[in-house]
Amino acid sequence: MSTELIKVTINGRDFQVAKGARLIDVCRENQFDIPSFCYYADLALQASCRMCLVRIEKMPKLQTSCTIICTDGMIVTTQSEEIEKAQRSMLEFLLANHPLDCPVCDRGGECELQELTFDWGNLEERFIERKNAKAEKYLSPMVANDPQRCILCKRCTRVCDEWMGEEAIEAGNRGANTVIGTFGGWLNCSQCGNCIEVCPTGTLLDGTYRHQHRPWELTQTISTCTYCSDGCQMSLGSRGGDLVRIVARDRYVNGHNGEFLCVKGRFGHPFVNHEKRIRTPLIRYQKGGRLIPATWDEAIRFTAERLDKVVAENGQNSLGVIGSARLTNESLYVLRKFATEVVETENYAVDDASSLKPFFENLGGELSTHRDIRYAKTIVLIGGEPEELQPLTGKQIRQAVRNGGANLIIFNSVPIRIREQASQFIHIRPGTEDAAVLSLANADNDALAAKKMGIDARDLETARTAINQTQGDVTIMFGSELSAAAQAIVAQFPYLFAAEGRRVLLHPLPLFNNSVGAHDMAQGKARSAIDLLAGAGQSIRAMYVAGSLLPAHLQEHPDALAKFDLLVVQELFETDTTEFADVVLPAASFAEVDGTFTNSGGLVQRVRKSIEPVHQSLADWIITARLAKELGVDFGFERSSSAVFREIADRIPAYAGLRYPLLKDESNPVQVKHAIAAQRDVSNEMNAIHGSVEALPDEGEKSQVTPSVGHELFKPGTLMSKTPQIHLLAAGNPVPESFAISPLYQITIDDNLKRDPAVA
Ligand code: SF4
Ligand code: SF4
Ligand code: SF4
Ligand code: FES
């Protein structure tokens, strides 16, 4: 929007507003209430509900403020008898077919239609004709539908199209018979539930939570998603010690994701109160024996004695400590402190799909937040599949292209879905992502890179030209396919491509919610988890794991866990990692702890306790601190995560000066200050990837198949598998016989089906 200011008069008061501003936004920003149903910021205009009417001087009739761009000298009235009369009439029309069944509607208490009707009171209903009756049904395991409550605002269809790129839900029929639905009646989509979230009425509803609680019975706690590195803000609805619902509804939370969540964030919470949560500490007194429930005192004492013995006999470095990139910053910080200051082992690792160390050590520019992605003018995506692995990033990319006209350049070996938005999709051979970096870094490598990637070298020139001609922001993203050397080169791209009027921002796409925080908390002291597993039973005699190890890493060293003299694991559930544990300590989930996560855009955001830890579980960092105390070192945090965060802020420069109160406002998130490295000679890294690219074969098949929606999202990993509906989705979302009842009651899926390992 222009920085030029113009004068607008609203209800007799003068305002200076940006030229090009939309009238409904200006009115609301200045606290003039404008009712609306179809208007939704940053979605295409619909202008169908006619609720946002205002009077504008010199215009012949009432105008819809959602379609009006302010002009200099505009004089506007938002409240008058004439306006209210028109709005009341519109509402009366909207209610003509509405069943007015608020007492049995799940949206009752947080329904925009109900609110407006109640706010005005005394609303006439003069229609005496029979209402159109339509049966309630399910559109998918996640989406329930009561079509007669629909006011045809089409927020749902626009969100599905513009945010998700799926066009799975559409309006059918005409006039008074128009209904929102889907082809064949069954939704085969990514099941994000965003159509449910933005629906202002009780037409689209959460099918996993239907008729369970009323919204006013829930305690709402603002927190951060535990699944991917996008770090969506969400409201955790709890009741009686149970987490029962997650929404991003803007009446409760106003984070960088707006009302967006994906299927994992919105529906993946039943693991929190799941019956299979580990209830007490468990000790296996003899290898091969059973795990026996124990008290916390016994378990801590037993673990400390055994750790002491291993270290006394084999030295400090015989102990390995591995943290999961899912844990909070506080837990990872305390774990690393335990490793380096209590046992003083050099063998500390974070288990993640790839290390971000080479990227951050060479970081030549700022990280791109999700807001930056939305307003970028050029987006370069090398590898990765954000629509499945970082869905908010996918949504921001789509909106940047669709609403902002951004150029999207994709290098990928698979025709991923988001290529449909790309101005340039460069279809490369599998495993040649480093070649893309090699050529972007230096055009002299174009011929070699093009040969290995199996593309036309002119495509590389086109991509470079698009970057170099950008006025505005360029965001460069990369997935975990890049080698360490290629990551280091990308990190220096701002020095190569930035120019006057062009910022170059970087956005890694790590796998976990706290991959970036895990890197930060390690302070450069993390080794690779695979290396530690490789030393099992030899140099490493005991292992202390907080979280579980990635299935892929365990597959690389299948016997490693059985080889340790002592294996201690903190977990929520029994997993492949706890199977060989001598001690299992019940850890609390993200919904039961206070702390912070740092997302892929460097935003450090609060995790807040929504319910008390279930059974006997404890926050990971509290367990580690108890163990440290038993070994003679009192960290002195006194069960206060804010005390841990204070120490993080004192000791880790990127977090300097931060405190929990400064992170209070999720609508104004704080980006940590990662050190910007000076421009440096990357010729060593260039030589390294030049060599590895040269060694690649000159031939190779490219996948021509676009991966199916949900092929990653619906993998039932340790946490997601606790949502019963996810098993239906993972099994291909079979169409039930009847849409009237939840498919869960009609289709039985074998929980134990062996599927690809998932990470979540
Ligand atoms: S759940 Fe998501 S993808 Fe499916 S119809 Fe609704 S908005 Fe579209
Ligand atoms: S289903 Fe909800 S969001 Fe969609 S058109 Fe109807 S009222 Fe609007
Ligand atoms: S996009 Fe990522 S952070 Fe957001 S809800 Fe989904 S899994 Fe959670
Ligand atoms: S909000 Fe303006 S017409 Fe619906």
Sheet of strand 502-508: strand arrangement: 424-427, 407-412, 378-382, 472-478, 502-508
394 pLDDT above the threshold of 80 = yes
Task: Report residue 393 as tokens.
Answer: 């990033």
In the DSSP assignment, the letter for residue 341 is: I
Quick one: 358-508 is in which CATH superfamily? Dimethylsulfoxide Reductase, domain 2 (3.40.228.10)
Kindly state the tokens that stand for 481. Answer: 């396919």
**What is the per-residue pLDDT across 218-268, written as a single tens digit (0 to 9) for each?**
999 999 999 999 999 999 999 999 999 999 999 999 999 999 999 999 999
Residue spans of the domains in the chain: they are 5-94, 102-267, 282-354+515-671, 358-508
3-state secondary structure 10-26: ECCEEEEEECCCEHHHH
Residue 10 has pLDDT above 60, yes or no: yes
Relative to the CA of 391, which ligand 3 atom is closest?
1
Q: So what's the pLDDT on residue 133?
A: 87
pLDDT of residue 643: 97
Q: Which ligand is nearest to the CA of 182?
A: 1
Nearest in space to 712 (alpha carbons), one of 750, 752, 760, 748: 760
pLDDT of residue 754: 45
For a substitution probing ligand 3, which of 226, 227, 245, 512 has the most ligand atoms within 8 Å of its CB? 227
CA of 235 to the centre of ligand 3 (A): 13
Cβ pair 704, 454 in contact under 8 A: no
Residue 542 pLDDT: 97
Query: How many Å lie between the centroid of ligand 1 and the Cα of residue 23?
Result: 30
Ligand of minimum distance to the alpha carbon of 257 = 3
Confidence class for position 658, pLDDT limits 50, 70, 90: very high
| Ligand 2 closest atom vs CA 201 | 7
Take atom 2 of ligand 3 and give the residue whose Cα is closest.
Answer: 228
Query: Which residues' Cβ are closer than 6 Å to ligand 2?
Result: 150-156, 180, 199-201, 203-204
Out of 3.30.530.20, 3.40.50.880, 3.40.50.1000, 3.40.50.740, select the CATH number for domain 282-354+515-671. 3.40.50.740
pLDDT at 301 > cutoff 50: yes
* Residue among 307, 301, 335 at smallest CA distance from 321: 335
Q: What is the CATH number of domain 5-94?
A: 3.10.20.740
Closest protein CA for atom 8 of ligand 2: 153
Q: Which two tokens stand for residue 742?
A: 């939840």
| Ligand closest in space to the Cα of 179 | 2
Percent share of the chain, pLDDT over 90: 92
Count of residues in the chain: 760
pLDDT (average), residues 300-318? 97
Give residue 36 CA to ligand 4 midpoint distance, Å. 5
Report long-range pairs for 308-314 (Cβ below 8 Å, ≥24 apart).
308/631, 310/541, 310/542, 310/565, 310/566, 311/343, 311/542, 313/541, 314/541
C-alpha of residue 405 to centroid of ligand 3, in Å: 25
What is the distance between the alpha carbons of residues 195 and 171, in angstroms, rounded to a whole number?
A: 13
Q: How does the average pLDDT of the chain come out, rounded?
A: 95
- Any atom of ligand 4 within 6 Å of the Cβ of 49: yes
Ligand number, closest to the Cα atom of 134: 2
Q: Tell me, in angstroms, the distance from the centre of ligand 4 to residue 515's CA.
A: 42
Is 230's C-beta closer than 6 angstroms to any atom of ligand 3?
yes
Which ligand neighbours the alpha carbon of 40 most closely? 4
* Ligand that lies nearest to the alpha carbon of residue 35, given by its number in the listed order: 4
Q: Using the atom order of ligand 1, give the atom closest to the CA of residue 182.
A: 5
Poorest-pLDDT segment among 107-111, 150-154, 172-176: 172-176
Q: What is the CA(181)–ligand 2 centre distance, in A?
A: 10
Is 87's C-beta closer than 6 angstroms to any atom of ligand 4?
Answer: no
Give me ligand 2 centre to Cα 197, in Å: 10
- Reported as a pLDDT band with limits 50, 70 and 90, residue 752 is low
Name the token pair of 739: 């849409």
For ligand 3, is residue 387 a contact (CB within 6 Å)?
A: no
In this structure, the residue with its CA closest to atom 3 of ligand 2 is 199
pLDDT in tens, 489-539: 999 999 999 999 999 999 999 999 999 999 999 998 899 999 999 999 999
Tell me the best of 264, 600, 714, 715 to mutate to test the pocket of ligand 3, counting ligand atoms within 8 Å of each CB and taking the most. 264
Structure-token pair, residue 713: 């999202």
pLDDT tens by residue, 41-100: 999 999 999 999 999 999 999 999 999 999 999 999 999 999 999 999 999 999 988 998
- Which of 23, 37, 113 should be mutated for ligand 4, with most atoms under 8 A from CB? 37
Distance 196 CA to ligand 1 centre (A): 8
The one-letter amino acid code at 682 reads V
Compute the distance between CA of residue 368 and CA of residue 379 in angstroms, rounded to an integer.
11
Residue 760 has pLDDT above 50, yes or no: no
* Pocket lining: 113 vs ligand 3, CB cutoff 6 Å: no
Q: How far is the CA of 743 from the centre of ligand 2 (A)?
A: 23
pLDDT score for 756: 53
pLDDT at 758: 52
Dump pLDDT digits (tens) for 551-572.
Answer: 999 999 999 999 999 999 999 9
CB 478 within 8 A of CB 508: yes
Which ligand 3 atom sits nearest the alpha carbon of residue 513? Answer: 3
Q: In angstroms, what is the span from residue 175 Cα to ligand 4's centroid?
A: 18
- Band the pLDDT of 304: cuts 50, 70, 90: very high
Which ligand number lies closest to the CA of residue 191? 1
Tell me how far the alpha carbon of residue 249 lies from the centroid of ligand 4, in angstroms: 20
Q: Is 246 in the pocket of ligand 4 (CB under 6 A)?
A: no
Mutate to test the pocket of ligand 1, among 155, 158, 192 (most ligand atoms within 8 A of CB): 192
Architecture of domain 102-267: 2-Layer Sandwich (3.30)
Q: Which amino acid is at 435?
A: A
CA distance 621 to 337: 10
Closest CA to 705 of 415, 386, 481, 459: 415
Torsion of CA 378, 383, 386, 390, to 10 degrees: -110
Any residues with CB less than 8 A from the CB of 204 and at least 6 apart, and which?
139, 143, 144, 145, 156, 180, 195, 196
Share of the chain above pLDDT 70, in %: 98
Q: Which residue has a Cα nearest atom 4 of ligand 3?
A: 232
- Please tell me the distance between residue 151's alpha carbon and the centre of ligand 2 in angstroms: 6
Q: What is the pLDDT of residues 99-133, one digit of tens each?
A: 989 999 999 999 999 999 988 877 777 888 888 88
The pLDDT tens digits of the residues spanning 686-720 come to 999 999 999 999 999 999 999 999 999 999 999 99
The closest ligand to the CA of 201 turns out to be 2
Query: Average pLDDT of 377-382?
Result: 98
5-94 and 282-354+515-671, same CATH topology: no
Give the position, in ligand 1's atom list, of the atom nearest the Cα of 204.
6
Give the distance (Å) from ligand 2 centre to CA of residue 172: 12
Contacts of residue 174, defined as CB under 8 A and 6 or more positions apart, other chains included, come to none
- Pick the range with the lowest mean pLDDT from 184-193, 549-558, 567-576, 667-676: 549-558
